[in-house]
């Protein structure tokens, strides 16, 4: 492929809106599509570029089409069918899916792309809303090395690190591992901070000390203040986390992994949803102790 100039971005949500903005600011010619057109109009007013009224139209004549929607069904809706991304893409162009979805879907879309002489990379991200807004996301990808090499410098507009994990689906598998890690770490912090409060320790002095040792983590440093304060509207929503954990549980069934702690934490997130905390962030696990 010659130098990438024209790209499309499908899905201008919390993540996609700023990611597409970074691409336009980096000098690419960006055409966006969003199901709710008002958001695409707002994006164009803020960043320039253009917008289309179907994913197929946005994808026309693009070197790379990026996509970031909700779940497997949403990806199918924007990628397949007469007005879907594949219908608009030229041969040899690349679809990069940033949605957190199943590895099975990634393999399916990779096979369809190959049959049409197109390319596919599954590319879920980590780093949250702040990472998307600051252009500092981490991207884990599945697909072919030479396709990854073409996409990597373009993704640098919003990613501080990207890594090809293996064949199609491997990016999604890595993201499942990421979410399994987060579930355990955040529950550990919830229990520890509740214990600290009941023990009468000074939270600031405590975290400034133990974060420098073996207990330190991104979650500890970035979430301790709000967890102690009982504020949970800063990060990744419980609804999204449960969607991601369900994907991991389905994969674990297939590969024979046991996820006892993750299942327990998922049950705690369910309790939080039942109490109306669907849009609270994942650190709200500590709310169960604040009754």
Q: Which residues bind ligand NAP (CB under 6 A)?
A: 11-16, 34-36, 39, 68-70, 74, 77-78, 99-100, 125, 128-129, 236, 240
Asked about 175 being catalytic, the answer comes back as yes
Cα gap 86→93, rounded to integer Å: 10
Tokens of 107: 């393999």
The three-point CA angle 28-74-85 to 5° equals: 45
Tokens of 200: 């009468």
C-beta closer to ligand NAP: residue 14 or 112: 14
Catalytic residue among 175, 263, 290, 291: 175
The three-point CA angle 22-24-29 to 5° equals: 150
Within a 10 A sphere around the Cβ of 202, how many other Cβ atoms?
Answer: 10
Q: Are 152 and 127 in contact (CB under 8 A)?
A: no
Q: Are 208 and 146 in contact (CB under 8 A)?
A: no
C-beta closer to ligand NAP: residue 36 or 208: 36
Q: Are 216 and 224 in contact (CB under 8 A)?
A: no
Half-sphere exposure of 88 (CA within 13 A, CB side): 26
C-beta closer to ligand NAP: residue 236 or 280: 236
For 127, which DSSP code? S
C-beta closer to ligand NAP: residue 14 or 156: 14
In terms of DSSP H, where are the helices of 36-102?
37-47, 55-59, 72-79, 85-88
Cα gap 247→67, rounded to integer Å: 19
For residue 1, the minimal CB distance to ligand NAP (Å) is: 26
At 180 the three-state DSSP class reads helix
At 150 the three-state DSSP class reads helix
Cα gap 115→233, rounded to integer Å: 44
Give the residue nearest to ligand NAP (CB).
Answer: 13
Residues designated catalytic: 175
């Amino acid at each position: 492929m010659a130098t990438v100039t024209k790209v499309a971005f499908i899905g201008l949500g919390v993540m996609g809106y700023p990611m597409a903005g970074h691409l336009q600011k980096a000098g690419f010619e960006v055409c966006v599509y969003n199901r709710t057109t008002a958001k695409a109009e707002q994006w164009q007013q803020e960043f320039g570029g253009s917008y289309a009224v179907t994913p197929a139209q946005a994808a026309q004549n693009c070197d790379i089409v990026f996509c970031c929607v909700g779940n497997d069904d949403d990806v199918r809706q924007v990628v397949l069918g007469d007005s879907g991304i594949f219908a608009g893409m030229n041969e040899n162009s690349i679809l990069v899916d940033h949605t957190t979805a199943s590895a099975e879907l990634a393999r399916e879309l990779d096979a369809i792309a190959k049959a049409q002489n197109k390319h596919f990379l599954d590319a879920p991200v980590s780093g949250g809303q702040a990472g998307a807004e600051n252009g500092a996301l981490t991207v884990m990808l599945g697909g072919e090395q030479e396709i990854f090499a073409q996409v990597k410098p373009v993704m640098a507009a919003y990613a501080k690190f990207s890594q090809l994990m293996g064949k199609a689906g491997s990016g999604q598998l890595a993201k499942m591992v990421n979410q399994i890690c987060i579930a355990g770490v955040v529950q550990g912090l919830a229990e520890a901070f509740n214990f600290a409060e009941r023990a009468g320790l000074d939270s600031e002095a405590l975290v400034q000390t133990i974060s420098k040792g073996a207990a330190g983590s991104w979650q500890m440093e970035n979430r301790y203040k709000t967890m102690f304060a009982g504020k949970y509207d800063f990060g990744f929503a419980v609804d999204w986390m449960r969607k991601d954990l369900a994907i991991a549980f389905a994969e674990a069934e297939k590969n024979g992994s046991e996820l006892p702690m993750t299942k327990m934490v998922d049950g705690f997130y369910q309790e939080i949803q039942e109490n109306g905390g669907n849009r609270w962030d994942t650190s709200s696990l500590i709310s169960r102790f604040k009754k």
